[in-house]
Amino acid sequence: MRSLEKIKNQSFPFMSTNEWKEKAEKSLKGKTVESLQTATYEGIILKPLYSREDEQAVPVFPGGSDYRRGIHPLGYLTNEWKVAQRISYQTLEELKEKLKQNFDKGQSALSFEVSKSLFEEDETLETILGESYHQYPFSINAKGLHSVLLAALETIGEKKETSDIISGYIGSDPVALFAEEGRISEEFFNDWMTTIVQSSVKIPNLRTILINTSPYHNGGANAVQELGVALAEGIYYLEKLQEAGMELEDIFSKMIFQFSIGGHFFMEMAKLRAARILWNRVAEVYGIHVNNRGMHIAAETSRFTKTVQDPHVNLLRAGNEAFAAVIGGVQYLHVDPFNNLSGSTPASERIARNTQLLLKEEAQLKQVIDPAGGSWYVEKLTNELAEKSWEFFQQIEAHGGIVEGLKSNWLQKEIAAVYDNRNKDCQTRKQSMIGTNVYANLDENVPNLKSQNKDSYVQEKGNSLLNICAIPQRRLSEPFEELRIKARDFEETAGYKPSLGLICLGELKEHKARLDFMKGFLAAGGVKAVESAPIVSFENARSFVSTLPVTKCFCICGTNEQYETAGHEILTSLRTEFPDRVFYLAGLPEKDMQSQWTAEGIKQFIHMKSNCYETLDAIFKELEVSTVEETKA
């Protein structure tokens, strides 16, 4: 009994940060703790350890002070986030049926793609909606059909005397459309403002002013840029609508912000928390009543992070992003089906919807109030993000505001610079995309992208149309997907898969590390690795190369010691025997040895820091030249 009591009363000794640092550096074998720091695309340095020294002053409860912890005191206990799965459809009958089915299976907001077919007949929209809008709020980005949809709803509301019960949001963001399409129209914007002013009276409980940062996110923007743009757009609309006669309090009450949620779990969570802090700061400056200062947020999982290849990995990506959105405190959430890029199915749409239901019911996130609140790491990251975002917002304003920043192409260049960094990290595989640039499956039948029906909403009216540089809508995986398409086209043309021979020096244990590296490296581009048996002499190597008459490219794999004892001789002999073959070396020799290898015929060194995409693209060029020569022969 005494020993049990002693165990119960035991406690861990207090350890200082310096003591932890000493232990950590001992295990790092000479490296410093600072070497574990990570630099983000936002220019924020993440530490390996956060402690009480990083503690930030935060509101005691959500719904108070700066709103970082949410806009409702009891969080999702009293105000659950809405499952706003955006319904796609081919026919109006399909839309009507899907709405009914989805509400029966957990959907809790009216969310669907808005098409012109909804307005071809006067009664169409009314028939499709039925009485669903009595029970569920809207969650719609109507884009260029904003005015038409609101006019139709106003008619339904007046006819049925239900205008007061229409809730949620039906919004459009003209500046985001301008940025995405590359055209600015004064008439389009004026029509949008007129619609906002009229609807604020006719449908009083519906939010209609959308600030949508997704086009910037999909262009490669970091979290700082997204938040800075959100503030700049919000203030631009405040000023324009105030000039149009709306009261400031009314404008704030009509606003909703839409964010895409990327793959960095804590950064995306902090992004939503920082967004509320920043918008509260704006509201304070404008003297807005405390009841209208809370930012309402609609979120969607990121398209930028998704892949066509190995699409089931998108389940993990979307689950992670949805989790971050919920912890961050959203009001509406859409989760993309895992195969949405190639065309969703009823099964994938169900999985996407159930992802949210699992977070609610199984993870029980609706039962906790701001679980991230007070976290040393999260709060520190939130504050740093808010500060940097405010600085970027000030830069936008220094360039004349959001519209002038787009006109001058300054904002596009800022976003492009971040995308270039992301793209480089992906191409060099510093950033892993499972199933795409690492662990790619060569046997996978890569599906085609579904066709994008992209309407131009900014129509030419009068002479006010102004062309600007559009922000390209991108995905990180696209360069590697292009390589896989090249591999497929090559096979269809040549009749065999693109391949590269691996000349494996010595026993398996000696060449295995670089053999495995090369297999993974080549698979990212759809290139088949053909490995040799253990090679200990030139005769072995010649025999292997001779058995692959259609393979033009070869790579030597082995240890650095083998390269120096046998590699030079084997390479020189192979170059003499097979002058039409192209040779690569796995690994990066010492700098003073590289020129010798190059002189002996090595085309390129392939190693951990190589640009995987550029190297594979160059290999394809070699293979294509070889195929053309074969065809001519």
Q: Judge whether residue 626 has pLDDT over 70.
A: no
Q: Judge whether residue 453 has pLDDT over 70.
A: no
Give the fold, CATH level 3, of 75-427. Answer: TIM Barrel (3.20.20)
Q: Judge whether residue 579 has pLDDT over 70.
A: yes
The dihedrals phi and psi of 140, each to the nearest 5 degrees, come to: -135, 130
Q: Are strands 38-39 and 138-141 parallel, antiparallel or unpaired?
A: unpaired
The domain segmentation of the chain, as residue ranges, is 75-427, 480-632
Rounded to whole angstroms, what are the CA distances from 560 to 257, 360, 520, 594?
56, 54, 20, 12
Contacts of 56 (CB under 8 A, 6+ apart): 376, 379, 380, 382, 383
User: What is the b/e burial string over 388-412, where b = at least 16 CB atoms within 10 angstroms of the residue's CB?
Assistant: bbbebbebbbebebbbebbbeebbb
* pLDDT band for position 448 (cuts 50, 70, 90): confident
DSSP assignments along 307-347, one per residue: -SSSTTHHHHHHHHHHHHHHHHT-SEEE---TTTTT---HH
CA atoms within 13 A on the CB side of 361: 8
Q: Judge whether residue 373 has pLDDT over 70.
A: yes
Structure tokens at 581: 């073959």
* pLDDT band for position 460 (cuts 50, 70, 90): low
DSSP assignments along 373-436, one per residue: TT-HHHHHHHHHHHHHHHHHHHHHHHTTSHHHHHHTTHHHHHHHHHHHHHHHHHHTTSS--BTT
3-state SS, 200-214, equals HHHCCCEEEEEEECH
Residues 385-437 have pLDDT tens digits of 999 999 999 999 999 999 999 999 999 999 999 999 999 999 999 999 999 99
The dihedrals phi and psi of 423, each to the nearest 5 degrees, come to: -65, -40
pLDDT at 6: 76
Q: Judge whether residue 633 has pLDDT over 60.
A: no
- The answer to whether 184 touches 458, Cβ cutoff 8 Å, is yes
* pLDDT band for position 630 (cuts 50, 70, 90): low
| Length of the chain, in residues | 633
Structure tokens at 445: 């039948």
pLDDT at 463: 56
492 exposure class (CB count in 10 Å sphere: 0-12, 13-18, 19+): exposed
* pLDDT band for position 9 (cuts 50, 70, 90): confident
CA distance 76 to 87: 24
* pLDDT band for position 16 (cuts 50, 70, 90): confident
Helices 223-243, 174-181: axis angle to 10 degrees equals 120
Q: Which of 172-181, 257-266, 295-304, 462-471 has the lowest mean pLDDT?
A: 462-471
DSSP assignments along 402-418, one per residue: HHHHHHTTHHHHHHHHH
Residues 25-41 have pLDDT tens digits of 889 888 898 999 999 99
DSSP assignments along 524-588, one per residue: TTTPEEEEPSPB-SHHHHHHHHHT-TT--EEEEE--HHHIIIIIHHHHHHHHHH-TT-EEEEES-
348-367 average pLDDT score: 97
315-331 average pLDDT score: 98
- Long-range contacts formed by 85-92: CB under 8 A, 24+ apart: 85/111, 85/334, 85/335, 85/349, 85/352, 85/353, 85/356, 86/111, 86/112, 86/113, 86/139, 86/300, 86/334, 87/111, 87/112, 87/113, 88/112, 88/113, 88/344, 89/113, 92/117, 92/118, 92/124, 92/128
Percent of the chain with pLDDT over 70: 97
More confident residue, 440 or 14: 440
In the numeric block, the tokens 């033009």 are attached to 552
pLDDT at 64: 79
CA atoms within 13 A on the CB side of 572: 11
Nearest to 279 by CA among 335, 233, 243, 322: 233
- The answer to whether 230 touches 212, Cβ cutoff 8 Å, is no
Residues 154-212 have pLDDT tens digits of 999 999 999 999 999 999 999 999 999 999 999 999 999 999 999 999 999 999 999 99
572-587 average pLDDT score: 96
pLDDT at 148: 95
- The answer to whether 592 touches 622, Cβ cutoff 8 Å, is no
Residues 87-141 have pLDDT tens digits of 999 999 999 999 999 999 999 999 999 999 999 888 899 999 999 999 999 999 9
Residues 467-525 have pLDDT tens digits of 999 999 999 999 999 999 999 999 999 999 999 999 999 999 999 999 999 999 999 99
User: What average pLDDT does the chain have?
Assistant: 94
- The answer to whether 157 touches 163, Cβ cutoff 8 Å, is yes
Q: Are strands 297-301 and 38-39 parallel, antiparallel or unpaired?
A: unpaired
* pLDDT band for position 449 (cuts 50, 70, 90): confident
Rounded to whole angstroms, what are the CA distances from 98 to 89, 125, 295?
8, 14, 30
217-246 average pLDDT score: 97
pLDDT at 631: 52
Strands (E) in 153-199, as ranges, are 168-172, 183-184
Rounded to whole angstroms, what are the CA distances from 140 to 92, 136, 168, 258, 578?
17, 12, 9, 11, 63
Instruction: Measure CA of the first residue to CA of the last residue in the chain; give whole Å.
Output: 91
* pLDDT band for position 19 (cuts 50, 70, 90): confident
Report the sign of the C-alpha dihedral through residues 336, 342, 348, 349, in that order.
Answer: positive
In the numeric block, the tokens 């969080």 are attached to 75
Question: Into which CATH architecture does domain 480-632 fall?
Answer: 3-Layer(aba) Sandwich (3.40)
* pLDDT band for position 546 (cuts 50, 70, 90): very high
